[in-house]
């Protein structure tokens, strides 16, 4: 038998707890954790297509990955020399605006494409029959320490069918979630070889291997809504078995990573560990980042969570928002996180644009409109509210010549200043240029979700050991982009 939870349609506020019912599906059987609850969370606009959360048992990067096939891996456990840093290439998928990466996994090594996610609990990939073949995978036993650390409380007790990654007995269970569509499923936790590059540019280098990287087995249907060719999602969260923590533990480098999202189909990068932040031409940002604390939301924001679980996502303490240097009047209590885990500001790579609670959205767009009264308007282009005639907007090194938007952090001297390249969106072929913020509704779980577009061509350092976020503001000021990062 298996357990399945199907929740009611997404409510307008907070969350609902589902009730498990018995069913058997996809041959694999899973026991749901007693303390687990399944939360329905509000869908941010343009982030999801599904209105249900289901818990049940059970091409894109080829150019960037071609060089991987010509280099042998060195296992961290046997080489005697751990790399000081490893990297993942990133590109932006035009069709979905998702950020896609690639690595090699399994035996024999197979290129795998996955969507990057600043949330989630771990890497998950499609393990349906025919989708996953490897001679080196191993189950995570239910009574093992990794299973206890995963804190899912779930165990696959029996499976009818031929043994496979998705069908194993006495195997720790997880709940891989597609955070784009907000659909999750039960799946086995297993380990296998994972290999990542040790250099980015100017030349390809050897791969570094994690012999037993823990990840969750998803299902084919879970990849719906992801970029074409994606077999799953790669978590960059603060969770115990997300990529940053596992890679740091394996290679014994600092538990931090830097994220540089590309604005086009050119390459960006995620660099894990200790590396100089060097860009062509001759730009080194290693000592010039501004820092703000990373906050912990004490209430989980995941689709499936246990009682007392904290959020794995990255929150920052925005205290005010400015437009053109002027403070926007808004309800500041929305910027804090309350005891129910509602409110605050988080960073998301699966939200293509920044999402604001309705009253904050109205205040910011009204302030921006007042500061740009001299620029001719055009009809709004969904999902945006405020659009201009792009032919009447000047250009600068950092994008369209429009007022800045500032996220004021712990004090007035620490602000994330957003320039035109990251605040404005070319919304259609007719030349409309829109303020790239979206109305998230009157009662979203998180008041401000900083989306991918606002982070593009900015270097962000997530330092988990010091619990702080470093940020550079736009690299365009320095006449460089994420595509120009160099390592090796």
Q: What is the pLDDT of residues 325-367, one digit of tens each?
A: 999 999 999 999 999 999 999 999 999 999 999 999 999 999 9
Helix (H) or strand (E) holding 22: strand 21-23
Owner of token pair 């919304």: 427
Question: 32 with 169: CB under 8 angstroms?
Answer: no
> Which parts of the chain register pLDDT below 50?
1-79
Omega before residue 281 within 30° of 0, cis: yes
Question: 321 with 290: CB under 8 angstroms?
Answer: no
Question: 296 with 315: CB under 8 angstroms?
Answer: yes
Helix (H) or strand (E) holding 361: helix 358-371
Q: Whole-model pTM?
A: 0.85
Report the pLDDT value the prediction gives residue 44, as an integer from 0 to 100: 40
Taking Cα atoms as reference points, which of 131, 136, 135 lies closest to residue 58?
131
DSSP 453-487: HHHTTEEEEEETTTTEEEEEEEGGGGT--GGGEEB
Report the pLDDT value the prediction gives residue 285, as an integer from 0 to 100: 95
Omega before residue 383 within 30° of 0, cis: yes
Q: pLDDT, tens digit, for every residue of 129-147? A: 999 999 999 999 999 999 9
Q: pLDDT, tens digit, for every residue of 57-88? A: 333 333 333 333 333 344 443 345 889 999 99
Report the pLDDT value the prediction gives residue 162, as an integer from 0 to 100: 87
Q: Which two tokens stand for residue 415?
A: 């602000």
Report the pLDDT value the prediction gives residue 206, as an integer from 0 to 100: 86
Question: 386 with 370: CB under 8 angstroms?
Answer: no
Taking Cα atoms as reference points, which of 86, 107, 116, 103 lies closest to residue 251?
86
Phi first, then psi, for residue 150 (nearest 5°) are -70, -25
Question: 463 with 256: CB under 8 angstroms?
Answer: yes
Instruction: Give 3-state DSSP helix, strand, coil % of the chain, rounded to 5.
Output: 15, 35, 50
Give how far Cα 12 sits from Cα of 397, 441, 443, Å. 41, 8, 7
SS3 for 136-165 is CCEECECCCHHHHHHCCCEEECCECCCCEC
Q: Quote the CA–CA distance of 149 and 267 in Å, as a whole number.
A: 35
Report the pLDDT value the prediction gives residue 411, as an integer from 0 to 100: 84
Report the pLDDT value the prediction gives residue 266, as an integer from 0 to 100: 83
């Amino acid at each position: 038998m298996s357990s399945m939870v199907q929740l009611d349609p997404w409510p307008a506020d907070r969350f609902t707890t589902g009730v498990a019912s018995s069913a058997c599906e996809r041959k694999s059987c899973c026991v749901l954790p007693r303390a687990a609850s399944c939360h329905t969370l509000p869908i941010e606009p343009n982030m999801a297509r599904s209105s249900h959360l289901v818990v049940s048992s059970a091409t894109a990067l080829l150019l960037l990955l071609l060089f991987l096939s010509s280099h042998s891996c060195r296992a961290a456990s046997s080489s005697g020399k751990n790399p000081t840093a490893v990297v993942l290439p990133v590109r932006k998928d035009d069709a979905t605006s998702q950020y896609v990466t690639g690595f090699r996994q399994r035996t024999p090594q197979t290129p795998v494409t996955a969507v990057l996610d600043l949330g989630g609990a771990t890497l998950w990939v499609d393990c349906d029959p025919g989708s996953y073949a490897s001679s080196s995978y191993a189950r995570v036993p239910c009574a093992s320490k990794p299973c206890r650390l995963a804190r899912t409380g779930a165990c696959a007790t029996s499976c009818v069918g031929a043994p496979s990654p998705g069908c194993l007995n006495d195997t720790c269970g997880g709940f891989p979630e597609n955070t784009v569509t907000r659909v999750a499923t039960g799946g086995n936790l297993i380990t296998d070889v994972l290999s990542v590059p040790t250099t980015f540019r100017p030349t390809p280098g050897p791969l570094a291997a994690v012999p037993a990287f823990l990840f969750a087995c998803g299902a084919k249907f879970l990849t719906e809504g992801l970029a074409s060719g994606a077999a799953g999602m790669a978590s960059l969260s603060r969770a115990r078995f997300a990529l940053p923590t596992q890679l740091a533990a394996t290679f014994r480098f600092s538990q931090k990573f830097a994220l540089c999202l590309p604005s086009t189909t050119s390459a960006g990068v995620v660099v894990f560990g200790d590396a100089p932040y060097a860009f062509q031409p001759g730009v080194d940002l290693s000592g010039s980042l501004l820092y703000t604390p990373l906050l912990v939301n004490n209430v989980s924001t995941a689709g499936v969570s246990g009682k007392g679980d904290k959020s794995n996502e990255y929150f920052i303490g925005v205290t005010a928002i400015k437009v053109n240097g002027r403070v926007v009047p808004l309800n500041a209590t929305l910027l804090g996180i309350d005891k129910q885990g509602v409110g605050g500001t988080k960073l998301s790579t699966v939200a293509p644009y920044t999402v604001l609670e309705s009253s904050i959205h109205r205040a910011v767009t009204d302030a921006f409109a007042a500061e740009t009264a001299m620029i001719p308007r055009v009809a709004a282009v969904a999902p945006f509210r405020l659009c201009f005639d792009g032919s009447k907007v000047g250009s600068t090194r950092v994008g369209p010549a429009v007022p800045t938007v500032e996220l004021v952090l712990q004090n007035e001297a620490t602000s994330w200043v957003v320039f035109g390249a990251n605040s404005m969106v070319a919304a259609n072929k007719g030349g409309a240029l829109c303020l790239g913020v979206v109305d998230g509704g009157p009662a979203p779980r998180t008041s401000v979700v900083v989306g991918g577009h606002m982070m593009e061509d900015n270097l962000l350092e997530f330092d988990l050991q010091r619990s702080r976020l470093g940020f550079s503001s736009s690299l365009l000021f320095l006449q460089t982009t994420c595509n120009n990062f160099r390592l090796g």
